Amino acid sequence: MAGPRVFVARKLPGTALERLGARTAMRLWEAPLPPPRDVLLAEARDAEGLLTLLTDRVDRELLEGSLVLRSVSNMAVGFDNIDVATCTARGIAVGNTPGVLTDTTADFAFALLMAGARRVVEGDRFVREGHWKTWDPGLLLGQDIHGATISIAGMGQIGQAVARRAHGFGMRILYTDEIPRPEIDQATGATRVDKDTLLREADFLTLHVPLTRETRHFIGARELAMMKPASLLINTSRGPVVDQAALAEALRAGQPGGAALDVTEPEPIAMDDPLLALPNVIIAPHIASGSRVTRAKMADMAVDNLLAGLRGERPPHCVNPEVFT
Ligand code: GLV
């Protein structure tokens, strides 16, 4: 097929790639693992468009080696894998996929919260290992969710969707954010607090900040030491937002009481990571936005962004609109 040359870094769910293939000279990396670095660099050299995933690093080296690139579309809401400043300096549009995954991701954050609070994964292991002998009034006792305090770090779209769920569960809601969010305060009774209060008061602390230089290790040894012994940390943002070594240490010492993580550093987590040896930790393989419907929508959105950038138009969801001013 004639048209602009684009490279797509993985097969995507749904029918989005059929549309892209019909409009471009598409080269598709079909293997289940991400393209190795040398392949990505070589493909980027002559591509006008790149459709990437959060596993693909679009950094200065790649951008400086690219001859005709003008549209980069990341199939994720997060874009910490992309050097946006260098893209902007080179006039390359960058798109992402916000909005469509908000509720799906919030559902999963809540699934982790509930699974951790009520020890669902430990219970499943207990049964499969043949330990279930009788109804036991003291067996696998967990924490109540209703009436508990949920602390939400980052009250963007996903944080707000988590707050709405928490409100439905009768929780007290605290949050930190750069700006006040009066609408969510009014809708859910949420209260904006300082970081120390967020940590001290949490029965559940859930992270919804993007990964930036400022939020790297936003939760470290100091922060973990401020949490209640029985509290649970939930992370569906990015692994490096938490200092993972400090978390393992803190969990071993019993404060906080558990963690439920959809993201780790690195991804995949090393099989000898101390977190994997702890019974009070749940780890999922970065699947929070992974419903069939949402992933197909994300793929469609990523294709729409890519095509707009190739036409020289501002992508519908653009993280560097200044390219078009
Ligand atoms: C997934 O982590 C995303 O950023 O969409």
Mean pLDDT by 10 residues, the chain (325 residues): 93 96 98 98 98 98 98 98 98 98 98 98 98 98 98 98 98 98 98 98 98 98 98 98 98 96 98 97 98 98 98 98 95
Four-CA torsion 194, 199, 201, 202, nearest 10 degrees: 130
Q: 138: CA distance to ligand 1 center in Å?
A: 39
Instruction: Tell the burial category of 23 from Cβ atoms under 10 Å away from its Cβ (0-12, 13-18, 19+).
Output: middle
Q: 77: CA distance to ligand 1 center in Å?
A: 5
- Say how far residue 297 (Cα) sits from the centre of its chain: 16
Q: Which residues carry out catalysis?
A: 238, 267, 286
Question: Closest residue (by CA) to atom 1 of ligand 1?
Answer: 76
Count Cα neighbours of 281 within 13 Å in the Cβ-side half-sphere.
21
Q: Which residues have CB under 6 Å of ligand 1?
A: 54, 76-78, 101, 289
pTM equals: 0.97
Question: Closest residue (by CA) to atom 5 of ligand 1?
Answer: 76
At residue 192, what are phi and psi to the nearest 5 degrees?
Answer: -80, 130
pLDDT of residue 234: 99
Give residues with Cβ within 8 angstroms of 9, minimum separation 6: 29, 34, 35, 40, 50, 51, 52, 53, 55, 56
Question: Closest residue (by CA) to atom 3 of ligand 1?
Answer: 76
Residues 286 and 276: their CA atoms lie apart, in Å, by 15
pLDDT of residue 162: 99
Q: Which domains does the chain have, with CATH numbers?
A: 5-99+292-324 (3.40.50.720), 102-283 (3.40.50.720)
Q: 78: CA distance to ligand 1 center in Å?
A: 5
pLDDT of residue 2: 82
Four-CA torsion 188, 191, 196, 201, nearest 10 degrees: -50
pLDDT of residue 1: 64
Write the DSSP symbol of residue 103.
Answer: H
